[in-house]
Chains A and B, each alone.
Chain A
Amino acid sequence: MSARNAGGGAAARGPGGEAAAGWEPVIGLEIHAQLRTRSKIFCGCEVAFGGEPNARCCPVCLGLPGALPVLNRHAVELALRVGLALGCRIAGRSIMARKNYFYPDLPKGYQITQYEAPLCEGGEVPFLLAGEKRRLRLTRIHLEEDAGKSLHGGGATRVDLDRAGVPLVEIVTEPELTSPAAAHAFLTALRRLLVWLEVCDGNMEEGSLRCDANVSLRRAGETTLGVKTELKNLNSFRGVEQALNFEIDRQAALLSAGQAVAPETRLWDAARREARPMRGKETEQDYRYFPEPDLPPLVVDAAWRESVRDGLPELPHERRRRFEEEYGLSPAEAELLTADRELADYFEAAAAGGDAALAARWVAGEILRLRRETGGFPVPPGTLGRLLTRVGEGAVSHTAAKTILERLAADGGEPDDWIEMLGLARLDDAAALAAAVDDVLAAHPDELARYRAGRTRLFRFFVGKVMEATGGRADPRRLDRLLRERLDD
């Protein structure tokens, strides 16, 4: 039932690919998001991207003999923000656990994570797929520490532990996505939310957001799950979609030929566009989980939980809905304008007390363009609002307003000042407009004759010429009326 909520159809391929013999994909995702704390989860070393190797390490994150972890309160707070925003049940008491395995970037020989008693359970993420509202249920969200980085090459492995101990939340979804496109759409919405909540900077290239995927196939209508494979090394949302497509095709081919899918982990190779099985005993790991004795159970009482809940901003999907209801925006417009909090805040400030539809068009158009060019919002929203008021009054034409916006972006100032300085006030003077029309008609007798002979399309020609002559200041409606009067004389 809920599988259909989160899916995109019964075909084995997302839109754009051929259906593969009636197989329905079942996809679950595991997302790791680095939390935007200043220090690591169990020690005071700074969290930062890049820089010198092993420059932000201490006995705790190095796993030196005798070092002990102490949990970062702010990491818990950020995890609570995510859990509460997604409607999870927050555990009043959750347990940190050790996941034991050997790897060069895991200095203690175990990762401190949560296993049987995570911080959050349940919850769901609303997202849009091809304009339709969906929800993907979550299994759980928990806190854990990141590992360092191993760099392989030159016959050796080099280890940098700067990243070891960076706080992560692991978000596990129910296996209820039914297409790679849905996975992409879900990830887009999740990333937006994490950035919106200021919990994570959502940067997959830098590794602050990572995703692994599990995928299996079954016949449409079946309820049991097929054998799943795990996909790792997915470094972008496109990579997630491509890898899922690859794997679905691969599994469909196997199953259609009567062969079984092996449960395994495959690494995505973005360059070669294929997912190859990991060698070694990775998939048979026995992590020997047990409760972390160095950390007491994490207690989140009602007071803490509710204070985090009270501090939550209006969530993206709530704001989107409000933009549709309060401002009458279309779903597409509302979705666009809630892509991130800064943009949504900008729109509301610009629309305040004015024509929301007009503001929406301008923010979605000109302002976003300026943002792409400059990386920010060079024109304050209030200033835009005042410009749009003039446009709404008819005091200045759209074309003129665009010119003014460019000047505001480049040089600041106020719309009224620019209107005056550039002489862009709408040509209100009926006499001057009539004079301009007469001049144009007089200057183009051939076209006038052709028009009166039936070439009514030349109307636009005259409109264009009058606009040119008036520097774009003519009010289109008046011009239209006046020109018809003159031409139909």
Chain B
Amino acid sequence: MELGEDVVRHVEDLARLELTAAEREAMRRDLQRILDYVADLASLDLDGVPPFAETRPGGGALREDVPQPSLPPPAFLDGAPAADAGHFVVPPAIEAAEDGDA
């Protein structure tokens, strides 16, 4: 497929990456090359082949509902980029004032 700049911008949004115009064009070219390479997957007949995730054996360990000690807050708050009164702090989302406790 032809990878347009609009698609690259959209993927940037989804991935929360901020590329400069030059970076975006370089990214577009790199991704285009890779997509061209993977394009031959499109020609395979995959009818009736289950996705690998579905073939995983089920079961596996479940945890018993027994509380375990938590991490003391300093262990992760002290190294946090911004913390205040026991909370992590981040800049507000633009619509934060409207959301309330979403």
Contacts and interface: CB of A to CB of B under 8 A. Distances in A.
A464 interface: no
Interface string A34-69: 000111001111100000111111110010100000
Contacts of B63: 39, 42, 44, 70-73
Nearest to A300: B58
Nearest to A101: B14
Interface stretch (B1-9, B28-36, B40-48, B85-93): B85-93
Contacts of B54: 95, 291, 297
Contact of B98 (A58, A73, A279): A279
Contact of A45 (B70, B84, B98): B70
A102 interface: yes
Q: Interface range on chain B: under 10, 10 to 19, 20 to 34, or 35 or more?
A: 35 or more
Contacts of B64: 72-74
B87 A43 contact: no
A295 interface: yes
Interface of B: 14, 16, 51, 53-54, 56-71, 73, 76-77, 84-102
A53 B14 contact: no
Contacts of A298: 58
A158 interface: yes
Given A64-B76, A296-B60, A299-B58, A159 B93 contact: no
B14 A286 contact: yes
Contact of B96 (A38, A157, A290): A157
Contact of A278 (B14, B59, B92, B99): B99
A201 to B, nearest CB: 16
A151 B101 contact: yes
Contacts of B73: 52, 54-55, 57
Given A58-B71, A296-B58, A297-B58, A44 B66 contact: yes
A42 B62 CA distance: 9
A232 B95 contact: no
B67 A44 contact: yes
B62 A159 contact: no
Contacts of B84: 158
Contact of A74 (B65, B87, B90): B65
